[in-house]
């Protein structure tokens, strides 16, 4: 009898163990299912954030390229003179698009977008410069054509006026523009003469004049001399001397120059910087300084800076 009781108790114990195992396994399965669902949700959220970032970056890139295309369409033939920069812009855009597609380092993509934005802005600046020169040329051509029509009856003077018009058009077309003209002022610190930017007249030791000599496919290439005139607030031209050795000719008049530089111009844009170091211990004059850039006897650019 006791043996039967023991058998019954063993069966009950085993049944209870099975039930506990089922409960534990069910709990484990529920927890695993919850973790799986949570992981899927996190993956889905991460994927959504990634897609959102990709859309934002793609939108910035598309906006830049749309603006670039609008500039090309607006200025038409002028943009052909900047085909080299067009290629650089297109290549950078393709690289950024590829990086976005493969989900590359977003900070790297941001840096490349900033670089592309600076290139497109430079492109617009050059187009504006070319447009200004061409607009002046068209205005001069229109003026002279009107004059020629009014004087057509005078055959003897007509031929001479035609010749003068041709010379003016050729001169205007071959004029090389200077843009992004800047006057940068520095204090020279320590034995190494480290350049420290300043606008304080009493601290200025050096002035740098930097600009870009524009591309012009019509101009005659070769050796040229670029002159810079810096006018003080009292209108006196800063110069190393007052004789003919420190002057150049423009429209039959001799003008003093502050700085000059010999260049080899090959019809492509050139970045140029020249510097003037203060020659006395007395402080520079406070006020506005005017800068003009000259080439082949023609003023091709201007700017100014102010010292406090």
User: Residue 252 — pLDDT band, cuts 50, 70, 90?
Assistant: confident
Please say whether the beta carbons of 306 and 198 come within 8 A.
no
The answer, yes or no, to whether residue 307 has pLDDT greater than 90, is yes
Q: Residue 288 and residue 308: Cα distance in Å, rounded?
A: 9
**Residue 168: predicted pLDDT:** 45
The residue among 64, 146, 121, 127 whose CA lies nearest residue 97 is: 64
Instruction: Enter the DSSP assignment of 237.
Output: B
- Top mean pLDDT of 11-25, 167-181, 266-280 is at 266-280
Stronger pLDDT, 272 or 90, i.e. the higher one: 272
**Digit-coded pLDDT (tens) for 186-216:** 999 988 999 999 999 999 999 999 999 989 8
User: Residue 117 — pLDDT band, cuts 50, 70, 90?
Assistant: confident
**Residue 14: predicted pLDDT:** 67
User: Residue 169 — pLDDT band, cuts 50, 70, 90?
Assistant: very low
Q: Residue 308 and residue 303: Cα distance in Å, rounded?
A: 17
**Residue 172: predicted pLDDT:** 45
**Residue 217: predicted pLDDT:** 86
**Residue 287: predicted pLDDT:** 95
User: Residue 220 — pLDDT band, cuts 50, 70, 90?
Assistant: confident
**Residue 285: predicted pLDDT:** 92
Stronger pLDDT, 226 or 165, i.e. the higher one: 226
Q: Residue 172 and residue 298: Cα distance in Å, rounded?
A: 10
**pTM of model > 0.75:** no
The answer, yes or no, to whether residue 44 has pLDDT greater than 90, is no
**Residue 228: predicted pLDDT:** 96
Query: How long is the chain?
Result: 308
User: Residue 235 — pLDDT band, cuts 50, 70, 90?
Assistant: very high
Q: What angle do CA 245, 246, 252 make, to 5 degrees?
A: 90
DSSP3 helix / strand / coil % (the chain, rounded to 5): 55, 25, 20
Largest CA distance in the chain: 150
> Rounded to the nearest 10 degrees, how much is the dihedral formed by the CA atoms of 279, 282, 285, 290?
0
Asked which of 26-35, 66-75, 157-166 is least confident by mean pLDDT, the reply is 157-166
The answer, yes or no, to whether residue 128 has pLDDT greater than 70, is no
**Residue 82: predicted pLDDT:** 55
**Digit-coded pLDDT (tens) for 281-292:** 888 899 999 999
Contacts of 285 (CB under 8 A, 6+ apart): 201, 232, 233, 234, 307
Angle, nearest 10°, between helix axes 155-173 and 106-150?
170
Segment 25-33 mean pLDDT: 74
**Residue 46: predicted pLDDT:** 46
Q: What is the mean pLDDT of the chain?
A: 76
Segment 243-272 mean pLDDT: 91
Tell me what percent of the residues of the chain surpass a pLDDT of 70: 57
């Amino acid at each position: 009898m006791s043996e039967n009781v023991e058998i019954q108790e063993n069966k009950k114990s085993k049944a209870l163990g099975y039930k506990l195992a089922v409960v534990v396994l069910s709990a484990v399965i529920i927890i695993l299912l919850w973790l799986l669902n949570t992981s899927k949700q996190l993956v889905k959220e991460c994927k959504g954030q990634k897609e959102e970032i990709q859309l934002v970056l793609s939108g910035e890139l598309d906006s830049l390229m749309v603006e670039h295309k609008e500039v090309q369409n607006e200025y038409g033939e002028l943009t052909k003179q900047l085909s080299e920069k067009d290629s650089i812009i297109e290549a950078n855009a393709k690289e950024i698009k590829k990086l976005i597609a493969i989900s590359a380092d977003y900070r790297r993509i941001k840096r490349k977008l900033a670089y592309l934005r600076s290139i497109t802005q430079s492109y617009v600046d050059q187009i504006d410069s070319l447009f200004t020169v061409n607009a002046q040329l068209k205005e001069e051509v229109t003026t002279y054509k009107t004059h020629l029509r009014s004087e057509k009856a005078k055959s003897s003077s007509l031929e001479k006026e035609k010749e003068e018009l041709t010379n003016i058009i050729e001169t205007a077309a071959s004029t090389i523009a200077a843009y992004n003209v800047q006057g940068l002022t520095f204090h020279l610190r320590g034995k190494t003469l480290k350049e420290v930017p300043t606008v304080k007249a009493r601290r200025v030791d050096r002035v740098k004049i930097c600009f870009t000599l524009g591309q012009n496919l019509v101009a005659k290439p070769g050796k040229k001399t670029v002159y810079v005139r810096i006018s003080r607030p009292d209108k006196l031209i800063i110069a190393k001397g007052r004789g003919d050795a420190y002057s150049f000719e423009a429209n039959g008049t001799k003008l003093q120059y502050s700085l000059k530089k010999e260049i080899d111009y090959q019809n492509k844009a050139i970045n140029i910087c020249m510097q003037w170091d203060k020659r006395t211990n007395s402080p520079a004059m406070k006020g506005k300084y005017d800068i003009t850039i000259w080439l082949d006897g023609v003023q091709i650019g201007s700017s100014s800076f102010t010292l406090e």
